[in-house]
A and B are shown apart, each in its own frame.
Chain A
């Protein structure tokens, strides 16, 4: 059994998972309109981590390290630190493995004006991962997963596999991505951003919002479910499948997502699934595609939500952030509303929630899709 021991989220909604979950449950969105940001010609609706709060949180950690960390690395370190401090795991032990999920890491350092203080190697993802894991004195080389928007799910699947058949007892899965002129301008060039709060699964949805976050999930393993702490969430299964359709996204029909879902739920009674936490980016194509995949796999009666209206799309962090929030909701016997949704309309009709509901079912399904045509599904269960 692979189960969650601890977690943390650093986002615009707070610096602990509990703060983030409480805000989401209250219906508070972390998205804000920025007239001018990141030296961009256009305004932006986004969810950004407060700089001062991040600096304060970082400096409150006692460390002997003399390294000058980037904003991305600081957020990842603070998140992992806060998740670890709730446990009695020794992160310097050789039974602990760090797994970093990110799409763009320190990419902003490619900007000549921002790179001066840092050595040229800092744009490499493995370098950030080294600095993050060595901050905690961990002796093992960190695993870096960079699989577009499904990275956060891919990293959890990697953790599950490694824990099952290796000597590691704990995997510290960190998902992090910061916003930069690089990332935002690219999405703007795709014309895929909405300047209003995004509307997942809505008739008038017109694009996504970007967000930044660093989130950590610590997984452990146990042969015996009785030894797993009460209220803990277990990762039962996960799968990735490609659409082989177009590099700019999943197929219009959800073929790849169907395969990922089928593989993930094959040994599960659908009646036990409380909800599906969809990718729900609020682009016209993504949400239609998900509605088709959910319908084709026979899950259309289940409650569906998307958390993008709270956090925006946090890229490499999304899979971790959304798994944590959904896990908290599951343990709280709650199904969260889909913030931003007003009039539901997708190719195949879905049961997307506009208000929080209660449910004491035991499982939830997490979906993600991304560039390169990749799709992922995770199945989790509360103890």
Chain B
């Protein structure tokens, strides 16, 4: 089966690149992910409630799907979101642990706890774009183009799925490492979806 990468987005600690073009970001002293949000001129106040992993995945998906999913309202049953990372939700897990660690200052935070699952980032992207296909999350010790390829191709075993948002979304200890790909069944304009190309887009 031929599958094509129709667009891709690479988001790291100092750069945002979409389809090979670096996106200029106005830097402030505030958090980098918030700077990206403001530079994109999106109005989505829920963004500020997200943990870092969801923020990073959300921003990459906005850039990735900007010209692909214009209609945000109608349910889309033919799209799946299949993601992978190294640290699951540990960045947010550590923040939540702080709210319960001290017996004399024990106030477990529901708003932090709700992000202590890696697949919440799939959920955020799904909500934003009304994507109602499969959402799955896998964990791997290190970035693996091969594994990303395999789980994304498996998402097409559901015959009603024609497009998949897939890739690597990791955020831990202030290190952001995201590569999101928008892939389509069939041979179309774009880069062939294969292990070698995924590997090179991550470099």
A and B touching (Cβ–Cβ under 8 A): yes
Partner of B119, one of A141, A146, A189, A263: A146
Total number of A residues with any Cβ neighbor in B under 8 Å? 54
Scan residues 117-140 of chain B and give those whose CB is less than 8 A from a CB of chain A: 117-120, 122-124, 126-127, 129-140
CB atoms of A146 and B117 under 8 A apart: yes
Partner of B139, one of A112, A126, A148, A244: A126
Residues from chain A with a CB closer than 8 A to the CB of B117 are 103, 146, 148, 371-372
Residues from chain A with a CB closer than 8 A to the CB of B134 are 239-242
Q: Complex: how many Å from CA A300 to CA B113? A: 35
Scan residues 167-193 of chain A and give those whose CB is less than 8 A from a CB of chain B: 181-182, 185-186, 188-190
Q: Complex: how many Å from CA A371 to CA B118? A: 10
B197 at the A/B interface (Cβ < 8 Å)? no
Partner of A158, one of B88, B123, B154: B154
Q: Complex: how many Å from CA A248 to CA B111? A: 10
CB atoms of B123 and A189 under 8 A apart: no
Residues from chain B with a CB closer than 8 A to the CB of A185 are 100, 106, 108, 113
A256 at the A/B interface (Cβ < 8 Å)? yes
B157 at the A/B interface (Cβ < 8 Å)? yes
Residues from chain A with a CB closer than 8 A to the CB of B87 are 124
Cβ distance B51 to chain A, nearest Cβ, rounded Å: 10
Partner of B141, one of A39, A126, A147, A182: A126
Residues from chain B with a CB closer than 8 A to the CB of A148 are 117, 119-120
Cβ distance B104 to chain A, nearest Cβ, rounded Å: 12
CB atoms of A126 and B140 under 8 A apart: yes
B62 at the A/B interface (Cβ < 8 Å)? no
Residues from chain B with a CB closer than 8 A to the CB of A129 are 139
Q: Complex: how many Å from CA A39 to CA B101? A: 11
CB atoms of A244 and B129 under 8 A apart: yes
CB atoms of A259 and B136 under 8 A apart: no
CB atoms of A147 and B137 under 8 A apart: yes
**Known interface pairs A145-B138, A146-B88; A243-B108 also in contact (CB < 8 Å):** no
**Known interface pairs A146-B119, A189-B109, A374-B123; A240-B139 also in contact (CB < 8 Å):** no
Which of the four size classes fits the interface of chain B? 35 or more
Residues from chain B with a CB closer than 8 A to the CB of A263 are 158, 160
Scan residues 185-210 of chain A and give those whose CB is less than 8 A from a CB of chain B: 185-186, 188-190
Residues from chain A with a CB closer than 8 A to the CB of B141 are 124, 126-127, 130, 141
Residues from chain A with a CB closer than 8 A to the CB of B110 are 186, 189-190
Q: Complex: how many Å from CA A125 to CA B109? A: 23
CB atoms of B130 and A147 under 8 A apart: no
Residues from chain B with a CB closer than 8 A to the CB of A55 are none
B166 at the A/B interface (Cβ < 8 Å)? no
Scan residues 151-177 of chain A and give those whose CB is less than 8 A from a CB of chain B: 154, 158, 161-162, 164-165
Interface 1/0s, chain A 32-66, versus B by CB < 8 A? 00000001010000000000000000000000000
Scan residues 210-251 of chain A and give those whose CB is less than 8 A from a CB of chain B: 239-248
CB atoms of B132 and A241 under 8 A apart: yes
Q: Complex: how many Å from CA A103 to CA B77? A: 26
CB atoms of A190 and B113 under 8 A apart: yes
The 20 sampled A-B contact pairs (Cβ below 8 Å) are A104-B116, A124-B87, A126-B139, A143-B138, A146-B118, A146-B119, A148-B119, A186-B108, A190-B113, A190-B114, A240-B134, A242-B122, A244-B75, A244-B126, A244-B130, A247-B127, A371-B123, A372-B120, A373-B135, A374-B135
Seed contacts A158-B151, A247-B123; 10 additional CB < 8 Å A-B pairs: A124-B90, A129-B139, A185-B100, A185-B113, A190-B113, A239-B134, A239-B158, A242-B134, A243-B132, A263-B160
Residues of B within 8 A of A (CB): 75, 77, 81, 86-88, 90, 93-94, 96-97, 100-101, 103, 106, 108-110, 113-120, 122-124, 126-127, 129-141, 151, 154, 157-158, 160
